[in-house]
Amino acid sequence: MLYALAGTLEQGLLFALMVLGVYLTFRVLDYADLTVDGSFTTGGAIAASIIFAGGSPWLATAAAVVGGLFAGMFTGLLHTVFKITPLLSGILTMTALYSVNLRILGRANVPLLRADTVITKFNSWLPLDSIYGATLLGLLIVVLVVAGLYLFLKTEVGLALQATGDNEQMIRAQGVNTNHMKLLGLAISNGLVAFSGALVAQNQQFADAGMGIGMIVAGLASVIIGEAIFGRRTILQQIIAVVCGSVIYRAVLALVLRLGLAPTDFKLLTALIVVAALASPQVRNWLGKGRTAERSGLDA
Amino acid sequence: MLELTDICKAFDKNTINEKVALDHVSLSLESGDFVTLVGSNGAGKSTLLNAVAGMFLLDYGRIMLDGSDITHLSEHQRAAYIGRVFQDPLTGTAPQMTVEENLVMAWKRGQRRRLRKAICLQERSFFREQLATLGLGLEERLTTKVGLLSGGQRQALTLLMATLRKPQLLLLDEHIASLDPHTADLVMDLTCRIVKEQQLTAVMVTHNLEQALAAGTRTVMMHEGRVVLDIRGAERKCMNVLDLMQLFEENSGTTLNSDRVLLAQ
Ligand SMILES: Nc1ncnc2c1ncn2[C@@H]1O[C@H](COP(=O)(O)OP(=O)(O)O)[C@@H](O)[C@H]1O
Ligand SMILES: [Mg+2]
C-alpha cells in the first residue's frame, strides 16, 4: 500500500511538469495548445536516444527541454505568422512531430535498461533506499520549477504574458507585441512538457513513439482536478493546485487499476474524468463557488 | 503634433458590403489641442481613432506624430506614444489581474519590459498616490482583481493607466458613454483635470453636443467618413448646441441622424 502511494507520488511529480506546461497555455495564455502529445514524446525520444548513444543523462535532459522549446515555438509561428487557429496550429505540429519523433528514436522503442539516467545518477548520491530516488528528484525539480514559474509570472515580462491571455487588446494598447508573448508562452510550456517526457522516459527506462498519446487530456484532467479542489485565487495557489492535481489524478488512476481495470483503459477513463468535470453542474458550481468566495472575500 | 493627411479606409473592400469609413480625411492637431469629435452614428469617429492607434493599416494617406511618420508602425509600437481609453470599460484593463499589476503594465508602456520583479515597494507607493487622485478609494484596493471593480472604477483606472506615463496623444472613444450619469460626470471631470494638468493633446469622441462644446478647446464634426466642421477659439466660445446643429446641416446637407445626439443632455 505504502509502495503504491509512493509510486503514485512519483508519477504525479514527474508528470506535474507536463501539467504545468498545459496550465501555462490553457489557463494563463488562454491558448488551447495540442502540441503537448507530440512534444512530450519528443522530450522522451531526445533524452532516450542521447542516453542510448552513451551521452550524459543531464545533457540529454537539457537537450530534450530545448527540443520542446522549439516544438512550442513552431506551433506559435504557425499561429502568429500564418494566422492558423490555435487548435489547428497545435494539431499540425503534433502530427508533424510524430514523424520527427520516429526519426529521433530511429525505431519504435528505445530501451534504457541498465543505462545511466538522471534517476540512477541521483540515486547514487543518496544515502537512502533507491526506491524513492525518482520521487525525491521529481520533488526537487517540481519545487524549483514551481518557484521559477511563479517568479517569472511576476516579472514585467511575466505580467505581459498573463495579460496576453487575459485581455489581448489591453496589453497591445500598453505596447506589448502579443505575438512575441504567445511564442514565449508556447515555448516555455512545451519545454516543460518535453522535460516531463524526458524524466518519464528515464524513469520507465524506455521511450517509444506512443508515450505522449492522450497527454493533453491527462494534463487537462489534472488541471481541472487541482483547481476544483485547491482553488484558483492567486497565481501561486493555481500553480500549486495544478501540481497537486497531477498527483491526485495519478492516485485516481492507481485506485481504479486496483479495482480491476486494465491499464489500457486509462485513456478512456481520463477522457471520462474531463467530460464529467466539464459537464457536471456540481463541479461547475464548485469552480464557480471558488470565484464567488473570492469575490466576497475581496470585497469585504 | 498630429498630422493626418488624406487618410482613407474602407471595410470589406471589393465586396457588396464595401463601406468607406474614412474618405480622404485630413486633420492637423496643434500641441495642447483638446479636440471633441462628434458626428452621427457610423460617421467614422471610432475608425479615425483606431486608424491613429494603428489597429489596421490605411488604404491611403499618411499619419505623422510629433514629426515622425507612424503610418506603417504596428499598434503596439504606436502605443509608446499614444494613451487610449475605450468605449467598453472591459476593454482597457485585464480583469484577472490586480489593480497594481494593471498599473505597472501601463507604467511600462513604451519602456523595455525586463525579467525583473514587476512590483516593488517603490512602485506600490507611487501607484497608491496616483490612485488617490481619482478619489474612488482604489488606493486601498491595490491587490483587488480588476474584474471585481465596477464599470466606472475600471474606466477611471483605464484613464489613469493611459496617462500614468505622459502620452504624446490621448485618444478617448466615447469613454463615458456606457457609464451611469453620476459616474460619467465623475470620469468626465477627471478627464478634463488630467488633460489640463498634464497639458495633453487629446481627441475625445462624444455623442453629447453640449459636452462637446463645454469640454476641450476645439470641436470637429464628421459625417460619412469626412470632416464637415472644425471650430475653435472665439467662434466656438459663443456657440450653443443649436448653432452647432445648424452649421452641421449647412455643411453636410442632412440633419444629424443620431437621436442620441439631440437627447443627450
Ligand atoms: N471592423 C469593421 N468591419 C466592417 N465595417 C466596419 C468596421 N468598423 C466600422 N465599420 C463601419 O464603418 C463605418 C464607421 O464606423 P465607426 O467608425 O465605428 O462609426 P462611429 O462614428 O459611430 O464611431 C460604419 O458604417 C461601420 O459599420
Ligand atoms: Mg464609435
pLDDT recorded at residue A81: 97
Task: Indicate whether A296 pLDDT > 50.
Answer: no
Q: Helix (H, G, I), strand (E, B), or coil: what is residue B20?
A: strand
- Segment B87-97 shows an average pLDDT of 96
Residue having the nearest C-alpha atom to atom 3 of ligand 1 = B11
* A and B: number of Cβ contacts within 8 A: 89
A256 and A270 within one domain: no
A179 and A91 within one domain: yes
Q: Which residues of B74-108 are buried (b: 16+ CB within 10 A; e: fewer)?
A: ebbebbbbbbbbbbbbbbbbbebbbbbbbbbbbbb
Give how many domains chain A has, as a whole number.
Answer: 2
A280 and A235 within one domain: no
Q: How far is Cα B236 from Cα B204, in angstroms, rounded to an integer?
A: 16
Task: Indicate whether B260 pLDDT > 90.
Answer: no
A254 and A210 within one domain: yes
A5 band by pLDDT with thresholds 50, 70 and 90:
confident
Q: Give me B197's grid cell.
A: 494638468
A187 and A110 within one domain: yes
A148 and A97 within one domain: yes
The alpha carbon of residue A74 and the mean position of all alpha carbons in its chain are separated, in whole angstroms, by 18
- Segment B102-126 shows an average pLDDT of 95
A290 and A182 within one domain: no
Q: Give me A280's grid cell.
A: 457536471
Task: Indicate whether B109 pLDDT > 60.
Answer: yes
Q: How far is Cα B80 from Cα A171, in angstroms, rounded to an integer?
A: 12
Q: Helix (H, G, I), strand (E, B), or coil: what is residue B62?
A: strand
Residue in chain B lying closest to A27 (CA) = B96
A296 and A186 within one domain: no
A164 and A124 within one domain: yes
pLDDT single digits (tens) A91-136: 999 999 999 999 999 998 999 998 999 999 998 888 866 778 899 9
- Segment A196-207 shows an average pLDDT of 97
Q: Which ligand is nearest to the CA of B48?
A: 1
Nearest by Cα to A5 from A250, A269, A201: A250
The secondary element (H helix, E strand) that includes residue A201 is helix A178-204
- Segment B220-229 shows an average pLDDT of 93
Which amino acid is it at B79? A
pLDDT single digits (tens) A38-60: 999 999 999 999 999 999 999 99
Dihedral pair phi/psi, residue B42, rounded to 5°? 75, 15
- Segment B219-244 shows an average pLDDT of 91
Q: How far is Cα B164 from Cα B188, in angstroms, rounded to an integer?
A: 17
Q: How far is Cα A46 from Cα A196, in angstroms, rounded to an integer?
A: 12
- Mean of the per-residue pLDDT values of chain B: 92
Q: Helix (H, G, I), strand (E, B), or coil: what is residue B59?
A: coil
Q: How far is Cα B156 from Cα B158, in angstroms, rounded to an integer?
A: 5
- Nearest ligand 1 atom, CA B45: 21
Task: Indicate whether A208 pLDDT > 50.
Answer: yes
- Which of B76, B114, B158, B163 to substitute to test the interface with A, most A CBs within 10 Å? B76
- Residue B11 half-sphere exposure, CB side, CA atoms within 13 Å? 13
A300 and A194 within one domain: no
A187 and A40 within one domain: yes
State whether B114 and A157 contact (CB < 8 Å): yes
Task: Indicate whether B4 pLDDT > 60.
Answer: yes
Which residues lie with the beta carbon below 6 Å from any ligand 1 atom? B 11-12, 19, 21, 39, 41-47
Query: Which has more confidence, A191 or A254?
Result: A191
Q: Give me B201's grid cell.
A: 493633446
B261 band by pLDDT with thresholds 50, 70 and 90:
low
Q: Give me B251's grid cell.
A: 455643411
ipTM here: 0.93
Q: How far is Cα A59 from Cα B222, in angstroms, rounded to an integer?
A: 65
pLDDT single digits (tens) B11-44: 999 999 999 999 999 999 999 999 999 998 899 9
A278 and A252 within one domain: no
Distance from CA of B119 to the nearest CA of A (A): 8
Instruction: Provide the residue range defining the domain that includes A270.
Output: 266-300
Per the CB < 8 A criterion, the answer to whether A150 and A236 are in contact is yes
Task: Indicate whether A21 pLDDT > 70.
Answer: yes
Task: Indicate whether A284 pLDDT > 70.
Answer: no
Residues of A with CB under 8 A from a CB of B: 151-152, 154-160, 162-163, 166-167, 169-178, 294-295, 298-299
Q: Report the CATH number at residue A166.
A: 1.10.3470
pLDDT single digits (tens) B129-146: 999 999 999 999 999 999
